[in-house]
Amino acid sequence: MIQITIIKINEYGPWTLTLGCDREHELQMLQASLYKEVQKLFSDKNCLAFLNRSDEFFVVTNGLTLNDHIAIQKKLEELFELKLTMSIGFAQTPFDANLKAHEGKQSPVILNKEHNIFGFVNGKADQKVTIMHFDVDDLSSSRKIKSPYEISSTMFRLYSSMLEFFLEKKSLAFFMGGDNFMVVSNDNAKEYAQKFIQRAKADLNLLLNCGIGIGKTSREAAKLATKSLDKIREIRDSGKEKPEILETSCF
């Protein structure tokens, strides 16, 4: 069971217009500081936030209750002039949890009116999160023959392909920066990772490594995924034949 909280800035579009047209730098600074606070407050509660579209964040909130969400909303309300909406959903797959959160906001199913929280909370029940950490093997070599902008173009093509592939598996993929991607995964992570690695090789000529982590919270799952990925590098750098996928579980 995966619980997802979608955080969105209320009435952001109309508010941006009030800044006049010399606003882009202000908006970028605001979005960056908002992301920093959201990541900080949720990671303090063992969750990981994903930057979705800068004005919207996805947080995997397994283990968090409604009261935990209210406490975080209160802190964000103290820090920012703009108000945020939280929509919470839980389901067997990450994509369906996103649908439930969306449905909770649309209906609406109000969980806390004062602090703009909607949806359905699973809280501490049934905690298991699977995260994949994908990374391009030896991107540094490509950087010697391709310019930074061309590398970015390749990374976004990879992201687009990953997003489409994992959406079909009801999993959610996010770009983390550099050549790093994380997928909040459905079950069968290993099998899907293998298939995607083959696709990236065939379609984009990119070699990927994938660390998989299974934990009780998203922060723990991400930690174990990165640990698995670092282990793949360690095996490779010791001169042995490396696996493309490695899984570490806390269970």
- Please state the closest distance from residue 138 (CB atom) to ligand GTP, in A: 4
Using Cβ positions, the residue closest to ligand GTP within the complex turns out to be 178
Which residues inside 115-154 make contact with Mg ion, applying CB under 5 A? 135-136, 139
Which range, of 27-35, 120-128, 137-145, 195-203, touches ligand GTP by CB under 6 A?
137-145
Least separation, in Å, of the C-beta of 227 and ligand GTP? Answer: 10
Short-list 228, 223, 220, CA closest to 248: 228
Closest CA to 4 of 45, 41, 47: 47
Between residue 178 and residue 237, which ones bind ligand GTP under the rule CB under 6 A?
Answer: 178-180, 226, 233
Nearer to Mg ion, 179 or 247 (CB): 179
The verdict on whether omega for the bond into residue 94 sits within 30 degrees of 0, i.e. cis, is no
Complex with ligand GTP: residue 66 or 151, whichever CB lies closer: 151
Binding part of the chain for ligand GTP, among 12-20, 61-69, 152-160, 171-179 by CB under 6 A, reads: 171-179
x-or-dash string of contact with ligand GTP, 94-133, rule CB under 6 A: ----------------------------------------
Which of 4-12, 50-58, 179-187, 200-208 is the region at the interface with Mg ion (rule: CB under 5 A)? Answer: 179-187
